[in-house]
Chains A and B, each alone.
Chain A
Amino acid sequence: MFARIFNAFGRPLLRFIQYLGEVVMLAADTFQSLFTHRLRWKLFLNQVVEIGLLSQLVVVITGGFTGAVFSAQTYFQFHKIGMGSATGAVVSVALMRELGPVLTALMVIGRVGASMSAEIGTMKVTEQIDALRALAVYPTDYLVVPRALAMMVSMPLLVAECIAVGIAVGYFVAISLLEINGTYYMANMVRWTRSRDIIMGLSKAFCFGILIVFISCHKGLTAREGAVGVGRATTEAVVNASLAVLISNFFLTMTLNIIYPAGYQ
């Protein structure tokens, strides 16, 4: 009886705890390496280009259309109670506190997390990581540290860009298509948006970046069994990182709201 219950729930739970432990150990190893070993600047800059520069189009489109549709939907509801001019404030605060960080993170997972996992996974199954180790190069220093640092730098910038584009496009839609008074729109937006909303969004971006990079790199480093293994590792990296972002977003919202409370205070 107990054996059956253990097999049904205990083993998956133990595997999950072991998985969490491995990701945390990788993160600890990376941070230790970051402060105690030399940084490979060229690899770091390559990763900034890969994560930051090459994600521009995706982030701009995500931010722009999210701002546009959110502006329109908010206006349709608020207009009924004569609060159409409050649309700007809602769009701005929502993009900064929730939509900007979460949607950017999900897009970065699809574009960058998957590629990280596939690239490192392929290196693993073709013995290239063993070759690194054999050449006295510690894989965490060479593969994970530049990616982690580039992600920590790039994610807040990408989220800031997504928010800015979202607000700008939302403003354009509100003024030109929904015929909201631009002065009231701007006045309400500036009145209800606080610097703490920006800080909250950027803090979330930083945390999501850390989750994405370590989950993706860990999946790559533990890939097995050839092409099938790399495919599986990539899929699992995308799914796990997406879930981690969505779940941690709730806890980050609740925690950060204590430090940076929402609303006009």
Chain B
Amino acid sequence: MIAVHGLEKRLGDQEILRGIELDVAHGETLAIIGRSGGGKSVLLKHLIGLMRPNAGEIWIEGQNIIDMSERQLAAIRQKVGILFQGSALFDSMTVAENIAFPLREAGERDPQVLRKRVSEMLEVMELQGEEEKMPVNLSGGMKKRVGLARSIIRQPSCILYDEPTSGLDPVVSDSINKLIRRLQQRLGVTGIVVTHDMKNAFHVADRIAYLHDGRIYFHGTPAELRSSDDQLIQDFLLGRSERENL
């Protein structure tokens, strides 16, 4: 479904990605973990063409998206949904308008169809009765769920999640994790979850990739990650800072 080869990205003088190699199969969920500021979100934005790399290839369903123009990328983006870290809801639209937006843009004009689809999404996200609220009046968890509803309403074959549980309390984080799992089981979509929340990663992932120093340092199943005796991985899993190791 998604393959990344030799992906490199520099921002100013800083090398963010230094040759990423990654493969994600159909229906699989991959969690990309790593420290804050390590380039996880940058990598995710490359996968949908929101950022352009300095070198490398990104293949989505057999098409290399690197040389595609913004308009050519539209076809790819219809197959790939993304949940932004800050949800990125349109603040001039209500919850219902935000969720219906992708369908309207795809040409759906029938108000009954739009209402029905929005209502289905609200039910899946457990947001019934919130459709007329503006994003500014929603909590962080609700914004994430509205963002997720907006990205899946067109039934993409792959969903990218950028820090889906960041800034949320443990209970809301757990509900988001269960929601991601439910979507995988219900829709059978491929998923890539960028997170530094290990509970989130272990809950949703079939495989986990650890991004360190701009490269994929580890790639394996959650069980393999847990049993790894690599010091760097153990430090990350246990939340030990380098200072403490000295």
Q: Which residues of A contact B (CB under 8 A)?
A: 122-123, 126-128, 130-131, 133-138
Contact = CB atoms under 8 A, between A and B. Distances in A.
A203 B71 CA distance: 33
B84 A136 contact: no
A128 B90 contact: yes
Interface residues of B, number: 26
A134 B82 contact: yes
B74 interface: yes
Contacts of B71: 138
B121 to A, nearest CB: 14
Contacts of B80: 134
Given A134-B50, A135-B101, A135-B150, A127 B77 contact: no
Given A127-B88, A128-B88, A136-B74, 20 more contacts: A122-B91, A123-B90, A126-B91, A127-B84, A127-B85, A128-B90, A130-B45, A133-B49, A133-B70, A133-B77, A134-B80, A134-B82, A134-B151, A135-B77, A135-B150, A136-B73, A136-B102, A137-B74, A138-B70, A138-B71
Nearest to B74: A136
Interface of B: 45, 48-50, 70-71, 73-75, 77-78, 80-82, 84-86, 88-91, 101-102, 105, 150-151
A122 B101 CA distance: 19
Nearest to B92: A119
A131 B88 contact: yes
B31 to A, nearest CB: 20
A134 to B, nearest CB: 5
Contacts of B151: 134-135
Given A134-B77, A134-B82, A137-B105, A126 B88 contact: yes
25 contacts: A126-B86, A126-B88, A126-B91, A127-B84, A127-B85, A128-B88, A128-B89, A128-B91, A130-B84, A130-B88, A131-B84, A131-B89, A133-B73, A133-B77, A134-B50, A134-B80, A134-B81, A134-B82, A134-B84, A134-B151, A136-B74, A136-B77, A136-B78, A136-B102, A137-B74
A25 to B, nearest CB: 13
A127 B45 CA distance: 11
3 closest A-B pairs (Cβ-Cβ)? A131-B88, A127-B88, A136-B74
Contacts of A131: 84, 88-90
B69 to A, nearest CB: 10
A127 B70 contact: no
A37 to B, nearest CB: 9
A134 B82 CA distance: 7
A130 B82 CA distance: 10
Contacts of A133: 49-50, 70, 73, 77
A31 to B, nearest CB: 15
Nearest to B80: A134
A123 B84 CA distance: 14
Nearest to B102: A135
A136 B85 CA distance: 19
Given A126-B88, A128-B91, A134 B48 contact: yes
